[in-house]
Amino acid sequence: MDLITVLIVDDHTVLRNGLKMLLDAQKDIEVVGETGSGKKALQLAAELSPRVVLLDLSLDDMNGLELIPELKQIHPHIKVLVLTMYDDEGYLHTVMESGGDGYIIKKAADIELLAAIRAVNRDEVFLDTSLTRGVLKSYYEGYRPGRQGSEEEKGKLLSGREKEVLRLVALGYTNKQIADKLVVSIKTVESHKARIREKLNVNYRSDLVKYAIRHGLLEELNEEEVPE
């Protein structure tokens, strides 16, 4: 089994110990390091090359929001999952804009945290379920179709199927959910996503969401379409 190696970055020693016990009890997850320092986190990331960094926003020596782009710039392969007490859409937006791959609240159940780690390791984005609906609605309201760009420019880069995949990605569907919905394989979904990123020259899900909204791909957005 290919282990998901995790670096825990949190300034609370007791919480780090608890997280380490939880994660090390999983057959597919291994904690390879832990620290409460942002600077030490950068050092450990270079030495240990973890698959996932589990990051608190409050650290001993710096703000976790400052650490995300530094980690991504030096180690673009590392997935950054923010584990925070801030149940706030503003922080979530900032995390995603900074290059974060997931956002989960500390009060979430253990099973949800494990699901989040596994999701970001699969190159999926994980947003805490308590914030997902509000985030999508705020993006939709802030970037109403037609405000930016001409009709001729909308969607000219993507094929019809790629637009379908992008729309579902923006709505928060996982690769498996997209595959099931479109009746294709997960590998096909991954190929579509890779081509979409290449055509749009973007790496972060937040940029894909903005593109989808600006080009009217979420125009039919309704609550039933937001995955629970």
Contacts of 100 (CB under 8 A, 6+ apart): 68, 80, 81, 82
The candidate with the shortest Cα–Cα distance to 226, out of 108, 102, 135, is 135
The residues spanned by each domain of the chain are 4-132, 143-219
Instruction: Find out whether 136 and 172 touch, Cβ atoms under 8 Å.
Output: yes
Q: How far is CA 207 from CA 35, 48, 89, 201, in A?
A: 30, 29, 17, 10
Express each pLDDT in 141-165 by its tens digit: 554 444 444 434 444 678 888 888 9
Q: In this structure, which CATH number among 1.10.10.10, 1.10.1840.10, 3.40.50.720, 3.40.50.1970 belongs to the domain 143-219? A: 1.10.10.10
Express each pLDDT in 103-121 by its tens digit: 999 888 899 999 999 999 9
- Which is it for strands 126-127 and 4-9: parallel, antiparallel or unpaired? unpaired
Higher pLDDT, 54 or 202: 54
The structural architecture, per CATH, of the domain 4-132 is 3-Layer(aba) Sandwich (3.40)
